[in-house]
Amino acid sequence: MRILSLNAFWFQGVPFEGTDPGEPRPHVLSSIAAALRPLAPDALCLQEIQSPDALLAVSAKLPELAHEAYCAGAVFPQYGIAVLSRRPIALLLSTERLVPPPQRAFQVFRVNALTIAHIHLPSGRQEGRERAAGLRVAELGGILKAFPGIDVWAGDVNEPPGGAVDAFWRENDFVDAAAFTGQGHHPTAAAGRNRGDRIAVRRALTDRLAAYGVMPARRFLGPEGRPLSDHLPLWIDLSM
């Protein structure tokens, strides 16, 4: 089973300034869908989806992923997230059911007998560095307390490796898939060396972790040669 994660940057492409996007730019959305389709994800986790209409637009480009669920951001509604799947999904927990509400959004869903937590954790952009770090751990703890049976975490954690997020996962028997497979040197940012996007797997499932990958930045460009997002797609393959 392939689980793929991407912060889609509201389908605006790079450069884009600010945090109040309009509708997806059609050529960016089409190019992202064309780039993701050959990867053949079974479950596609997308962050920075600004509206249900934006989800409808991308799902129309990826009809093979016929099952979907959307969740708006709590404090910042434009930071919505969505999952698209080849098989039916059961949405077990989402943003509106966590108290206090998260800054952005999360979903816990089940597909193919796997329970996946799809996350977009707070950024220092709104909260400042130290407060954001504390909020990230608090949100992870709230999600895991509300639903202890998580197998995989996927999304944008807004923190480089070795910080509080990774410490939380280690303490709760999860491993960073990139580090576990020896791929931790690959950035997930379209520019620079940042790896703020992660997929973590329950330690008991690491014997099923067949692969981890990140699309190279040179392959995630629009027709004009500009990055399609400020993030890159990343994925894992789990043998089921």
Instruction: Render pLDDT for 131-140 as a digit per residue (tens, 0 to 9).
Output: 888 899 999 9
How many angstroms separate the CA atoms of 75 and 114, rounded?
Answer: 28
What is the pLDDT at residue 171?
A: 98
> How many whole angstroms separate alpha carbon 205 and alpha carbon 99?
29
Asked if the model's pLDDT at residue 124 lies above 70, the reply is no
Distances (CA, A) of 139 to 81, 105, 201: 16, 10, 18
Euclidean distance between CA atoms 102 and 118, whole angstroms: 13
Asked whether the predicted pLDDT for residue 128 surpasses 70, the reply is: no
* Topology at the third CATH level for domain 2-238: Deoxyribonuclease I; Chain A (3.60.10)
- Tens of pLDDT, residue by residue over 76-122, are 999 999 999 999 999 999 988 888 888 899 999 999 999 999 999 99
Q: CA separation (Å) from 4 to 26, 89, 131, 197?
A: 22, 15, 29, 11
pTM, entire model: 0.96
Enumerate the domain spans of the chain. Answer: 2-238
- Model confidence pLDDT, tens digit, residues 20-29: 899 999 999 9
- Mean pLDDT, the chain, whole residue set: 95
